[in-house]
Chain A
Amino acid sequence: MKAGLLFTIPKFLWIVYILGKLIDMSDQVEQFFVPWSFAIILSVLISVLCHRRPKWGRRGLGVVWLMGGLLNVYLAWIYPRDYLVFGQFTFFPFYRRFIYMILFRQAIWMGAILVVWHFYLAFLFFRPKPLSSLSLGLAAVLLLLLAPLGFGSGFPASLILLLGLYTLYRAERV
């Protein structure tokens, strides 16, 4: 238990360090403080569940994928213009260019990929079977890809969820 804490504390310190690097984006924090805080609190709760109650943690992650899928249904097929909001918050210029020049312009089918990805993960996480490497791999890649969206993905919420996913993986392996 003590050894686990020794690993967990540096991970959280690293997250705090990254947050510190984002001080120049403080106007965004100010603008979206409530949803941003909500995303971080939710991700911490799910990660704690993954550690303490793996079964519920897994369901929590399933709900996250489900909500993400529904969000992308709205974005891709109802109001693609909202994809543009994510371009404002990203850390990487090439992410911004991708969102503005490719994702937004090809929202229907690009969004469809994201919808299928999220719903497939939701299906895998709600299924009463141990998580396969495929499920974990797809979930980890998606969480990593979401992280550079910055405040658009409630940064560092997706990294906290990744930590939860890793805890879940270890718990299920045991």
Chain B
Amino acid sequence: MMTKQAYSYLYISILLCVLFSCQQAEKIPFSYPLRTVESKKIWDRAFHNAFVDLIYFKGNLLCAFREGDGHVTGKKGKIRVLQSSEAGEWKSLALLTKAGIDLRNAKFSVRPDSLLLLTGLGTDYREAVYEWFTWVSYSVDGETWTPPRRVRGIPSNNWFYDLCWQGEFGYALPLMAGTDPFSGKVQGGKRSMALFRTSDGMNYEQWTDTLALSPLVGEALVRFKPDRSLFLLIRDGGGHSVSGYYGHAEPPYDSLSIAPFDHGLGGPNLLLLPDQSWLLGTREWPEERLDCLNERLTVFMRLEENGQFRRLFVLPSEGDTAYPGLAIVGKQLHISYYSSHEGWPSIYYTQVPLDSLYTW
């Protein structure tokens, strides 16, 4: 028979476990000398919620991100799509999976015929990284998606970070890696890049020669101004990026002029503001700042087309962070991103009045 005392010990132990868990749930305040825009957590269900994008589509804000159990490898990542209600709450709208493949870096774009696209990186982990490929999925309403399928026309072991449409074509800068002839695995340190274009999101054709860049190029963004001129940003240096490239081109974009960019890029996003200036959101490493805070941050800066930049604000962030999704609705800039400053990588959301960006 169990004594009353034993029961008491059992109940007290359980109570202590619960209390300890609750105590751990307290928020840790974020502070930083640069202007900080507060944000709220909208999703933390998986252990690693990351690589975010945001779009305003048919009157709804949609947010896509990867759910996994680690930054790389581990279990296969899935892409979750959330929708914001008018009340500001977020609900799960769709979950994209592909058997045996880690899906990540989902990015929205809208085809000229108003079809919504998600593109991203698919990785086949067999022992180590076995293969990279870019996938695409289509939706009419953001809720029902076609299964993620490999894009065609780009040499194998490819991935493009972002697809941007101009006129009837979408443009992307895929990285293309070699394949080890003996193991068949990706040669991640031997990357090249070129501009590709598509008319449907699935079939691509190479549009420029291979660019003379570092073998560790990564995430690359292509953007267009109303005068149809092209502006681009390319991450360099692999995981710990403290440099990159920026560049320009004029129609028909068959020749790109590229120069070094003196700031690291980690999950960058670039948005043309209504005043025709560029807003860049990216990860920033401690050694890129003078404040000596030993943490990675998600930082936003105004970027000139000559590569000069000025920091505007940071978002509460720490550790594994960045990959902001940006969308302008009315006079508000909507931002979603991920950060680990409250425990494990979770998805956050905030709004910034556009007018503030011009005066900061």
Interface residues, chain A, with chain B CB atoms under 8 Å away? 24, 27, 31, 81, 84-85, 87-88, 93-98, 100-102, 104, 132-134, 137-138, 141, 145
Contact = CB atoms under 8 A, between A and B. Distances in A.
A112 to B, nearest CB: 15
- Size class of the contact patch on chain B: 20 to 34
B140 interface: no
A138 B14 CA distance: 12
Contacts, number: 63
A104 B47 contact: yes
Contacts of A84: 46-47, 69, 75
B24 A102 contact: yes
State the majority secondary structure of interface residues on A.
helix
B45 interface: yes
B18 A94 contact: yes
B2 A133 contact: yes
A97 B24 contact: yes
A123 to B, nearest CB: 16
A150 to B, nearest CB: 11
Nearest to B22: A94
B75 A100 contact: no
A97 B21 contact: yes
Contacts of A101: 24, 343-344
A88 B7 CA distance: 31
Q: Which of A94, A137, A138 has the most CB of B within 10 A?
A: A94
B105 to A, nearest CB: 20
B47 A102 contact: no
B290 interface: no
B25 interface: yes
Interface in B72-97: 74-75, 91-92, 95
Nearest to A95: B21
Nearest to A90: B45
A104 B46 CA distance: 13
A137 B69 CA distance: 34
